[in-house]
Structure 1
Amino acid sequence: MTPQPTPALPPAVTDALTAVLLGPDFHREHAFWRRLTTTEPFRSRPGATTTPEEQLVRAYDRLRLINRSLDSAARLASDVRALTAMHEWLGPVDPTLATVAGIHYNLFLGSLLDHDPEGRRDLSGALHMDEVGTFLCTEVAHGNDATEVETTATYDRARDGFVLRTPHAGAQKFMPNTSPVGGPKSGLVAARLVVDGTDHGVFLLLVPLTDADAALPGVRVRRLPARMGSPVDHCLTSFDDCFVPRAALLAGPQGHVGDGGEFAGALPSRRRRLLVSLARVTPGKLAMSACAVGSARVALAVAVRYAGHRTVAGPRGTGAVPVYAHRTHHGPLAEALATVFAMSLLHRRALDRWEAGAGEADRGAAERLVAVAKGWITWQARDVIVECRERCGAQGLLEHNGLAALVTGIEGTITAEGDNLAVHTKAAAEMLLSAPGRAADGEAGEAQEAPGGLRDPAFLRGLLTELEALRFARARSRMGAAPPGDALGRWNAASGLALRGVEAHAVRQAAEAFAEARAALPGGLARERLAEVERLFLLRQVGQGSGELLADGRVTAEQVRALPDLYEEAVATVAAHAPALVESFALPDELFAARPIAGPAYADAYDDSEGPWHRSPAHSAEEFAR
């Protein structure tokens, strides 16, 4: 079945779908950042080449331009919706800028504001960007196990301050942007707080690191080798008797050092103290999800446009056809469209839950959803971006078309703010112990046909709920069957299925977000288009788990046999509307102008003013005759 691309959607329909993807308050959350990316300092030049170091300097210049454009840097740092919107738009335009901006406004400035609600600390340098803020937690030997960092901050009573030391090579701070590039830097340093010989756990301290030219006394900074992805001045940073005053300690409910030099803290658990100090990592996960969502949208929009412009020979007698006419080409793009909608909806669901979380129990559940969403969204974004690059062939490999940078850039979001596998493993352990008991292996349920069967989204969502429960039940069963007394062995027996349960949980959350978004739309074309995308997403996810569902009696063999035809039907429907649906991403024309393959005249980017095709026909004929 060859999809016939439908006309552009009416503006009201496109706007309604944009609100589904980007939230109902587009003007407040997104308009500023969308407009900013279209201005001259943020535009890319087709064919222009810059070195990685020039790109890095440009990113810091742009960071200062952003700061001058803000009504209040403190307000941005305190508003998680503004922070995530910033990443949603800057991520695909300048990944280096998104990285350093997120570090400065969220991890650095946000942490300082959170730990000083009364405004006693002078933050004018960071607010006016006389200094750029950075964050030093990860060490060469310690990443996700932040409770084990080995940098020390020892209280010196004589000077009423702390002395920072790096005890060995493995304790060097790993990958913060601490070079003098971009101007003077200050950082929040995670270090073990030692008072009178007692280790009180990991706290943050505000430490000046560099001036405009070099590291300050007691601080050693060395640039790391170039890494894949966008250029950032990642460094190794160490401390040699670096002194900071007592006020440098970020104190709060996790503890403080009083005027008499005594340590006092309300939280008895060292782990809880660390979590309070590093609370800004959770908004950082939301920011990484936003970067991934924005990057996937851009990649998909470019690939869909190119697929409509690029022509190939069709079947005999039909002439040239767009590559998009082929199922082998439009099928993966339709699937990617459904995934991008799901990513966008899950991101907003996690953002809403995080903002709404009030009590400690609610906050814990919201934090876990943010973590699960970050892992699933960034992994899905990689799949989408790689698929879109491949659909653009050799053109997608050229830097000036913008896809190559997205392919490598997405890897940073997968690792930043907690490696995805470690983040999902933590969620798996929590959910394994807290999930309610459901049917395990050997306890088959009864397949139920909802009123609409496989055409009913409620039935498909129910199957996804069952799939999540089945995986956790089997993980618990495997854990129970493992030999007692071997905690690691019991976890290893269950962890594979538990991680698949986390994946199913993310999918189910996305499916529920689809249902809520569709229900919120009034009847009409926007709701119809969204329902079609939702259906493709649900059928794909159910199809991937159909073997498990069939084995457990949740679906029938007839239903499994029916899935491929229903899926193909959904692919054809979404593919027909995909060129119009990508308009709901609200991407500005200026973004496409900087990427030649996004326009029908992409071949003009390779024109040669001295090429023989520019000579007069007569001259060409004369040369040919000779």
Structure 2
Amino acid sequence: MTPLPAAAPPSAVTEALSAVIFGPDFRREHAFWRRLTTTEPFRSGTCSTPEEQLALSYQRLRLINRSLDSAARLACDVRALTAMHEWLGPVDPTLATVAGIHYNLFLGSLLDHDSEGRRDLSGPLRMDEIGTFLCTEVAHGNDATEVETSATYDRARDGFVLRTPHAGAQKFMPNTSPVGGPKSGLVAARLVVDGADHGVFLLLVPLTDAVAALPGVRVRRLPARMGSPVDHCLTSFDDCFVPRTALLAGPQGHVGEGGEFAGALPSRRRRLLVSIRRVTPGKLAMSACAVGSARVALAVAVRYAGHRTVAGPRGTGAIPVYAHRTHHGPLAEALATVFAMSLLHRRALDRWEVSADEADRAAAERLVAVAKGWITWQARDVIVECRERCGAQGLLEHNGLAALVTGIEGTITAEGDNLPAHAKAAAEMLLLAPQAPAHAADGATAPAGLRDPAVLRGLLAAVEALRFARARARMGAAPPGDALGRWNAASGAALRGVEEYAVRQAAEAFAEAVAALPEGAARERLTEVEWLFLLRQVGRSAGELLAVGRMTAEQVRALPDLHEEAVATVAAHAPALVESFALPDELFAERPIAGPAYADAYDDPEGAWHRTAPAGAAGEAVR
């Protein structure tokens, strides 16, 4: 492997690949957020305590709000929302968290449930108050239909009284402290009218002023969480009264002026899903955070590998550590994964935007949920690998990787834990998954066929179908009458099928992106990255594909050498591929190991090497 060449200025190749990663309209969707990260208020500052970092993040949130033409844009435009997370997530994870809650979950939900414009939203639009979202409880997370906070209609006062019945019903982890300014929240509570429980609805509740919680509201800070500091709290209600207009009404139901409940949706679960439908754009935002964070980690690791030198073979002098296959191999594979993550994120975003009728919207929601899980899990693997490739330097906070390692954990859990979301998708897809073809297509069984992306995609589709076929068979063999037992028998294989579904969706996104590029170097580079991704994914299931006749023994034997060829090809073009992430120079300037003079960050002005050698001593002062 030859030494890693220096990164060149953006070329036609890197610009074409940037368009693949970010979509065709970078200027409209991404340029503002990219530029924002280079401005002084958003440059990495030195905060000595987590509380200082938290206060800075809220200051930045208000700066963003003042810089927008309309704060409603981030609530109404999912592309703007996700672009914000893509760029700000790696720079200030706390800011991305509180901004997503305010603009999407809070303001977006208010706008969704106020189509006639009757509610005064000037306060949250001006950010006189910061919005938050209170759904999860200590004892209820993914089972949100079971939350126990109650909102009981009081006819005499024409409003609702919120109560927390026990410790397990405290709202868990909303950012409800007075830090950052007055807070209002959307509270998920059981709507009780005349003794009848109508299920979980959202209500708009003022929570704090700039100093403390308001009457009827109790807020207590939770212990510090791993990763970026957010003012996560336990929040409870003691006869907290809000007017009837605080209820977010719509097709899920409403309480009329006479105090009578009316609802068009008979299912309590559907009522809740309509109320919290902003969770799906939130999943897209978490995917964007993960994609952006993985890009930054990978770009820093590739740069560091190019200028960190080690002793080469005898007589060759120092060489970049990147020259070793043991170093550049994992980074090349991470490059292929990050491209796949980026393309799958864009595919899920596109699908969500164009989904219209209910059936199509359900499929789009499923893709968004599956993509969020796969992307955030892959991002964790990439970030951890990149941190390790940077050695001890990667552990130091000023190099920016340590925060990404801990920060990615938040995206895995936020907007619904990955595993339950994938389990829900698995249950749905058991009824939808196609049967696996018995054998490979003619002409696709020779080793040369593994150079054809179409053949490799066909193998991935076969693996997906095999996983679901196994799940259905296991479910059918389980004793009847035991729903949990049948699911437990099938769930392992079904979850692996969901993973293969995500991989296939990423592979199809790769194929579409390659086909959209004209012949030339950019298309060649993307095809090489696609090939490495596909080979790696097929290699995970080669034994099973061999067993069912979808691959030959000759193909399985050829896979390792083909994989090595693909790694070497992608690794040779790593600088151009990383440049296509369009990361600003200012971001690298704040991470010492991203530059060739990283050792200067550790220089000691009082060090002996700065002193002139004594008179008559041989040699001169050494730097």
Instruction: Say whether the fold is shared (TM-score over 0.5).
Output: yes
- Give the Å deviation of 1:293: 0.1
Unaligned runs of 5+ in 2: none
CA 1:622–1:378 in structure 2 vs 1: closer, same or farther (change >3 Å)?
same
SS at match of 2:192: strand
SS at match of 1:433: coil
CA 1:10–1:229 in structure 2 vs 1: closer, same or farther (change >3 Å)?
closer
**Correspondence for 2:260:** 262
Give the alignment partner of residue 445 of structure 1, picking from 439, 443, 446: 439
Contact 1:447 1:556 in 2 (8 A): no
- Give the Å deviation of 1:445: 3.1
Bigger shift: 77-86 or 448-457?
448-457
Kindly provide the amino acid, as one letter, of the partner of residue 450 in structure 2.
L
1:136-175 to 2 correspondences below 5 Å: 136-175=134-173
Kindly provide the amino acid, as one letter, of the partner of residue 493 in structure 1.
A
**Runs in 1 of length 4+ with deviation above 2 angstroms?**
1-10, 436-439, 444-452, 617-624
1:78 aligns with 2:76: yes
Distance 1:7 1:569 in 2: 23
Contact 1:2 1:327 in 2 (8 A): no
SS at match of 2:210: coil
Give the alignment partner of residue 478 of structure 2, picking from 482, 494, 501: 482
Distance 1:33 1:2 in 2: 36
- Give the Å deviation of 1:129: 0.4
Kindly provide the amino acid, as one letter, of the partner of residue 396 in structure 1.
G
Distance 1:52 1:619 in 2: 51
CA 1:323–1:167 in structure 2 vs 1: closer, same or farther (change >3 Å)?
same
1:175-186 to 2 correspondences below 5 Å: 175-186=173-184
Distance 2:512 2:43 in 1: 36
Distance 1:10 1:269 in 2: 54
1:332-481 to 2 correspondences below 5 Å: 332-438=330-436, 445-446=439-440, 448-450=442-444, 453-481=449-477
Unaligned runs of 5+ in 1: none
Percentage of identical aligned residues: 87
SS at match of 1:144: coil
Distance 1:170 1:43 in 2: 40
Contact 1:6 1:577 in 2 (8 A): no
SS at match of 1:205: strand
Distance 1:619 1:346 in 2: 66
Contact 1:257 1:263 in 2 (8 A): yes
**Correspondence for 1:37:** 37
SS at match of 2:90: helix
Tell me the matched-pair count. 618
Kindly provide the amino acid, as one letter, of the partner of residue 405 in structure 2.
V
Instruction: Give the root-mean-square deviation of aligned CA atoms.
Output: 1.5
CA deviation vs aligned residue, 1:455-501 (integer Å, no higher than 9, x gap):
00000000000000000001100110111111111111110000000
CA deviation vs aligned residue, 1:491-529 (integer Å, no higher than 9, x gap):
111100000000000000000000000000111111110
**Correspondence for 2:277:** 279
Contact 1:464 1:542 in 2 (8 A): yes
Give the alignment partner of residue 215 of structure 1, picking from 213, 216, 222: 213
**Correspondence for 2:98:** 100
Distance 2:40 2:303 in 1: 24
Distance 1:163 1:568 in 2: 65
Give the alignment partner of residue 501 of structure 1, picking from 474, 497, 502: 497
State the TM-score, normalizing by the size of structure 2. Answer: 0.97
**Correspondence for 1:293:** 291
Contact 1:375 1:420 in 2 (8 A): yes
1:19-34 to 2 correspondences below 5 Å: 19-34=19-34
Distance 2:341 2:63 in 1: 30
SS at match of 1:585: coil
- Give the Å deviation of 1:545: 1.1
**Correspondence for 2:244:** 246
Distance 1:268 1:7 in 2: 60
Distance 2:309 2:443 in 1: 44
1:327 aligns with 2:321: no
Contact 1:372 1:423 in 2 (8 A): yes
Distance 1:166 1:191 in 2: 9
Distance 2:616 2:28 in 1: 59
State the TM-score, normalizing by the size of structure 1. Answer: 0.97
- Give the Å deviation of 1:266: 0.6
Contact 1:140 1:170 in 2 (8 A): yes
CA 1:427–1:572 in structure 2 vs 1: closer, same or farther (change >3 Å)?
same
Distance 2:533 2:137 in 1: 40
Give the alignment partner of residue 582 of structure 1, picking from 578, 585, 590: 578
Distance 2:213 2:611 in 1: 59
CA 1:446–1:355 in structure 2 vs 1: closer, same or farther (change >3 Å)?
closer
Give the alignment partner of residue 549 of structure 2, picking from 546, 549, 553: 553
SS at match of 2:203: strand
- Give the Å deviation of 1:438: 3.5
Kindly provide the amino acid, as one letter, of the partner of residue 20 in structure 2.
V
Give the alignment partner of residue 524 of structure 1, picking from 520, 523, 529: 520
SS at match of 1:222: strand
Contact 1:192 1:199 in 2 (8 A): yes
Kindly provide the amino acid, as one letter, of the partner of residue 33 in structure 1.
W
CA 1:227–1:205 in structure 2 vs 1: closer, same or farther (change >3 Å)?
same
- Give the Å deviation of 1:551: 1.1
Give the alignment partner of residue 594 of structure 1, picking from 583, 590, 596: 590
**Correspondence for 1:611:** 607
Contact 1:203 1:249 in 2 (8 A): yes
Distance 2:566 2:252 in 1: 53
Distance 1:201 1:125 in 2: 29
Distance 1:307 1:49 in 2: 29
Contact 2:187 2:202 in 1 (8 A): yes
Bigger shift: 545-554 or 9-18?
9-18
- Give the Å deviation of 1:580: 1.6
SS at match of 1:238: strand
SS at match of 2:519: coil
**Correspondence for 1:306:** 304
CA deviation vs aligned residue, 1:60-80 (integer Å, no higher than 9, x gap):
000000000000001221000
CA deviation vs aligned residue, 1:319-354 (integer Å, no higher than 9, x gap):
110000000000000000000000000000000000
Contact 2:4 2:322 in 1 (8 A): no
- Give the Å deviation of 1:437: 3.4
Distance 1:64 1:597 in 2: 32
- Give the Å deviation of 1:11: 1.8
Contact 2:47 2:53 in 1 (8 A): no
SS at match of 1:434: coil
**Correspondence for 1:540:** 536
CA deviation vs aligned residue, 1:590-617 (integer Å, no higher than 9, x gap):
0000000000000000011110000012
SS at match of 1:275: helix
CA 1:475–1:2 in structure 2 vs 1: closer, same or farther (change >3 Å)?
farther
Contact 1:174 1:235 in 2 (8 A): yes
**Correspondence for 2:511:** 515
CA deviation vs aligned residue, 1:182-236 (integer Å, no higher than 9, x gap):
0000000000000000000000000000000000000000000001000000000
Contact 1:2 1:572 in 2 (8 A): no
Distance 1:199 1:9 in 2: 63
SS at match of 1:155: strand
CA 1:518–1:3 in structure 2 vs 1: closer, same or farther (change >3 Å)?
farther
Contact 2:94 2:228 in 1 (8 A): yes
SS at match of 2:175: coil
Contact 1:76 1:105 in 2 (8 A): yes
Kindly provide the amino acid, as one letter, of the partner of residue 334 in structure 2.
A
Distance 1:267 1:22 in 2: 39
Distance 1:248 1:295 in 2: 37
- Give the Å deviation of 1:434: 2.0
- Give the Å deviation of 1:85: 0.2
Distance 1:466 1:120 in 2: 53
